[in-house]
Amino acid sequence: MGARVGAELYLTESVGVPKRFPAVAFVRVCASLGLTVALGVATLVTSYGFNWRIAFWVGAGIALIGSAARTTLRETPDFVDAKRRIQEMIKDSNIIDVAKIKNNPVWQEKVNKKTAIYYFLIQLAQPVWFYFAYIHCSNILKDSLHYTTEAVIHQNFIISIVEFFVALALTCLCYKFHPLKILKTQLVIFLTFLLFSPLILDNITQGWQILLIPLIVVTFSPSEFPTIPIFYKSFPVFKRFTYASFIYAYSRAAMYVISSFGLVYLTERFNIIIGYSLGISHFN
């Protein structure tokens, strides 16, 4: 969690527009690829007797590469500029006054409460779509259509492949189109799908039909992707990582628990799309 937020924040502050949006979005592409590889390995292990220890060795190698990369990263321009302004103020003072440092506008810049709340509402959406696509639909396959565990894992593997290519396509699109326009388009299409979803769910009789639903969800479900740089830039430099990390963590912790035990009540009593739409309107 912290590594992903840190990577997105680092690219947000290091890369200029318009390359910033696809650069940050590529982090999501890598995360989607990780999910695809994990489900691919699970498919190989359960269906073809693949040695799962090989996957752990590959993961250990990737971790070593990541550790080496972290030691070579430099501070971002935004952070360096803010730190330079603090250092210049200290240099101009004969006596280092801690109170004076804390009163500096760069240090004292406050987080807009509405921005934090609306960003939290936007972050609430993704865990619900993930749970519905990969967990809830899997339960339907097992309970109603009597799929085996191996078949369910294979179907989730197919969904993850589609999600990976969707993330890759959106990464390319946000270089040409403004990310907020992309999100609004996704939101309109997804709301249209929601209008017909009860009718679709009531008439499912085959596995390929239930496969189409999570495919639509992972393709058009609204989330913070690919507008993350816009959200991060709305927070003060010295507080970006703290707020971004905590909001990300709290939203996931809350919604995974709530959606796991009460997806029906969640969608009936608290329409998650409403909060998401308000959040997008705030950042527009």
Phi, psi of 3 (to 5 degrees): -65, -40
Peptide bond into 18 cis (omega under 30): yes
CA distances from 146 to 43, 139, 156, 200, 283 (A): 18, 9, 15, 19, 44
pLDDT at 52: 74
Tokens found for residue 155: 């179907």
Residue type, 167: A
Quote the pLDDT of residue 17: 85
The token duo for 168 is: 């890759």
According to the model, what pLDDT value does residue 71 have?
Answer: 67
For the question of whether the overall pTM of this predicted structure is more than 0.75, the answer is yes
Q: What is the pLDDT of residue 265?
A: 55
Distance CA 188, CA 203 (A): 24
Annotate 255-282 with DSSP letters as a single string: HHHHHHHHHHHHHHHS-HHHHHHHHHHH
- In angstroms, rounded to a whole number, what is the distance separating the alpha carbons of residues 3 and 272? 27
Mean pLDDT, consecutive 10-residue stretches, the chain (284 aa), reads 81 88 93 91 84 76 72 60 58 56 66 90 87 88 89 94 96 92 92 85 81 93 89 87 89 77 54 65 71
Helix locations, the chain, DSSP H: 2-14, 20-48, 52-70, 77-92, 98-102, 105-108, 113-123, 125-131, 137-143, 149-176, 179-202, 207-220, 228-232, 240-269, 272-283
For residue 48, CA distances in Å to 37, 41, 173 come to 15, 10, 37
The whole-number pLDDT of residue 201 equals: 77
- Structurally, how many domains does the chain consist of? 1
Query: Would you state the pLDDT for residue 86?
Result: 57
Domain that holds residue 114: 2-283
Distance between CA atoms of 27 and 25, rounded to whole angstroms? Answer: 5
pLDDT score, position 269: 47
Q: How far apart are the C-alpha atoms of 139 and 160, rounded to whole Å?
A: 17
